Amino acid sequence: MKLHRLAACLAMLICQACSWYAAQETIPIDPHSYSQPNKALASHLAWKGQVDFTLKRITARASWVIETEKDADTIVFDTYGLVITEVLLDNEQPTAWKLDRADAILGSALRIALKKGTQTVHIQYHTSSNAKGLQWLETDQTSNQQHPFLFSQGQAILTRSWLPCQDSPALRFSFDAELKVPPGLMAVMSAPNSAHKSLSGTYHFSNPKPIPAYLFSLAVGDFEYKAFDDRSGIFAEKSMLESAWQEFANLPPMIKAAERLFGDMPWSRFDVLVLPPSFPFGGMENPMIMFAAPTLIAGDRSLTNLVAHELAHAWSDQLLKHASWEDFWLNEFFTSYIERRIIEEMEGPSYAEMMHSLSNLELARNLAHSKMQKQALILVPDLEGKDPDLVLGALSYQKVTAMMMQLENSLGKKSIDQWIKKRLESRPARVYNTSSFVETYQKELFASSPLDVTTLNTWLYAPALPNNYVPRISARFANVEAVAGLWLQGEEITYLPTGAWSVYEWMYFLRVINQGQLPEARLAALDETLQFSSSGNAELQAVWFQLILQHNYLGALPAVEAYVAKTGRRKLLLVVYTALWNNLLCRDKAMLWFDKYQMRYHPVARNSIQQVLHP
């Protein structure tokens, strides 16, 4: 693999010398894509797809408009498990093509012979049952229980399992699509979507602004739309539509807050689609239609920061393109900053500061753990030969948040805001890998207050934090610590001043009281008063279950089972299954419940949990 990369680098250097290349942007090598964009690049897609719920199959024709180097004789696409039935050029001319032998992680390269001057490549194909980027849900896995549901999840390299594409985060394409679904069902894609179901079951989409393959997405099911205003609203199954609409009602002012900070929203719309429980993430930033887990409907708007995060991607994704999944941190680095700035505007700085403090606390807890987790602290991992999905974990987010905070402390928010805004106004996103980013941004952004090389290298490449990083603790947490101290001395929680606490204060409280051996009766009393086991906030529940499993309060095990039965979000399932596994009395339960519920989980969640249960 390494040799292959070296050869590709050399080829690129030679290519740079030729005139065609001089006008183009240099696209660095991505170890997770077979495509050779410096020779032939797919820049626009016209896609016609048909969804068959009986066969659990998408049959489609992908017509790619391509841009090629003068003498390019081949274009290469990524595929995973696709059955290719025909490949034609331009006006339906046949051509030679070949699917390479499949790699377990990357799939197969599809190599298509080009003629002189070829402008379009048409690929007729259908998906197979191992399409990792699609989840087909039976009617009983939906909330209305009457129709099946289908959704895609492209990040990191899963889109190739339902679209032959150049599947690298560095490459973007515009698209038009026609999608046929069973009449009566709604269909949406990462494009402006219709508010109404099509009677015939045929939908049309058009997104003229280029997006990377991992954000090309669709969902089909029996869901409806309720608008907030003329550019935002909620798609959800009927039973959840109203509660979701209430929960996310501050979306329009949130968009306005982000626009005040960073200029016009790069997308013409921003809707939220609430998915069935198996959706493996809290949120996914699919353009113009964020995909959201149903657990975000906490009942008290306490998880809307996830909406702020996916909304932040609308701006951060236009700042730069990460060259490969090894540079994934770059994408979340600016997103986490923009998210926090939005939260500050919406909820005030002290609220945002609590979120940041909690992230720091989790980071410190993780740092105190095993060797394997420390490796996950390397922000720029070597992913060659590895599945990128298994390394894009919670730790990278916590470290990125800490790094951004150090930068913010030295530069000040004002100058970072101005820099982001200016950059968005002045140029389209370019491709950066970590080293080209560091080079450019040391000059531009960090110029007035550069991070010294040791600090920067520790942030990026070491499984540790720099010595000069001083985590800030939220001022609101001082009160929590005082209350926790009193509770630990035996006071009852009802008599302590916790009245106006937010969910973050409670999460911090649960972390602080996690010391010594807490008697079962005290934890039971806490649960009785505050109902943590049945909280509407799934993140708080996860922190609670970690605590009680560590302290053997096993009376709440039925609530833990109910949680792993209804949750699909990987991050939360992982912490709860890990806590079960770490308690020797509960290990058999972890195995039993995983066996029982794993078919409800999305494959990406299932794979990750499997690593915990069979280390």
User: Which one of the spans 257-265, 304-312, 424-432, 536-544 is the region binding ligand BES (CB under 6 A)?
Assistant: 304-312
Spatial distance between the Cα atoms of 243 and 249, rounded to a whole number of angstroms: 10
Give the residues across from 84 on adjacent strands.
Answer: 125
Q: Is 282 in the site for ligand BES (CB under 6 A)?
A: yes
CB of 435 to Zn ion, least distance (A): 22
Cβ proximity to ligand BES: between 397 and 437 the closer is: 397
CB 329 within 8 A of CB 379: yes
Instruction: Choose the one of ligand BES, Zn ion, none that binds residue 156, judging by a C-beta under 5 to 8 angstroms depending on kind.
Output: ligand BES
> Rounded to an integer, what is the distance from CA 376 to the centroid of its chain?
17
Among 27, 255, 274, 306, indicate the residue that binds ligand BES (CB under 6 A): 306
Q: Is 160 in the site for ligand BES (CB under 6 A)?
A: no
Task: Return the SS3 of 220.
Answer: strand
CB of 308 to ligand BES, least distance (A): 8
One character per residue 320-349, x = contact with Zn ion (rule: CB under 5 A): ---------------x--------------
**Residue 162, both tokens:** 């339902």
Q: Is 344 in the site for ligand BES (CB under 6 A)?
A: no
CB of 287 to ligand BES, least distance (A): 12
CB of 339 to Zn ion, least distance (A): 8
CB of 212 to ligand BES, least distance (A): 11
CB of 564 to ligand BES, least distance (A): 17
Long-range contacts of 354-358 (CB under 8 A, 24+ apart): 354/474, 354/476, 354/477, 354/502, 354/504, 354/505, 354/508, 355/305, 355/504, 356/401, 356/405, 356/472, 356/474, 357/471, 357/472, 357/473, 357/474, 357/477, 357/508, 358/504, 358/507, 358/508, 358/511
Among 82, 156, 343, 526, indicate the residue that binds ligand BES (CB under 6 A): 156
Cβ proximity to Zn ion: between 185 and 292 the closer is: 292
Q: Is 397 in the site for ligand BES (CB under 6 A)?
A: yes
The most distant pair of C-alpha atoms in the chain lies apart, rounded to whole Å, by 82
CB of 460 to Zn ion, least distance (A): 18
Among 167, 222, 247, 310, indicate the residue that binds ligand BES (CB under 6 A): 310
Spatial distance between the Cα atoms of 108 and 80, rounded to a whole number of angstroms: 6
Q: Is 602 in the site for ligand BES (CB under 6 A)?
A: no
Spatial distance between the Cα atoms of 179 and 182, rounded to a whole number of angstroms: 10
**Residue 163, both tokens:** 């679209």
Among 212, 283, 294, 381, indicate the residue that binds ligand BES (CB under 6 A): 283
Return the exposure string of 396-410: e unless at least 16 CB atoms fall within 10 Å of the residue's CB, then b: bbbbbbbbbbbbbee
* Chain residue at closest Cβ approach to Zn ion: 335
Reference 328, options 367, 382, 266, 369; nearest CA is 382
Among 237, 285, 317, 505, indicate the residue that binds ligand BES (CB under 6 A): 285
Tell whether omega for the bond before 562 is within 30 degrees of 0, i.e. cis.
no
User: Which one of the spans 103-111, 217-225, 283-291, 528-536 is the region binding ligand BES (CB under 6 A)?
Assistant: 283-291
What is the secondary structure of 431-460 as a DSSP string?
Answer: EE-HHHHHHHHHHHTSTTSPPPHHHHHHHH
Q: Is 307 in the site for ligand BES (CB under 6 A)?
A: no
Spatial distance between the Cα atoms of 159 and 132, rounded to a whole number of angstroms: 8
Q: Is 333 in the site for ligand BES (CB under 6 A)?
A: no
Q: Is 338 in the site for ligand BES (CB under 6 A)?
A: no
Half-sphere exposure of 35 (CA within 13 A, CB side): 28
Instruction: Choose the one of ligand BES, Zn ion, none that binds residue 503, judging by a C-beta under 5 to 8 angstroms depending on kind.
Output: none
Query: How do the residues of the chain divide into helix, strand and coil, expressed in percent and rounded to 5?
Result: 45, 20, 35
The residues binding Zn ion (CB under 5 A) are 335
The residues binding ligand BES (CB under 6 A) are 155-156, 281-285, 306, 309-310, 313, 392, 397, 571
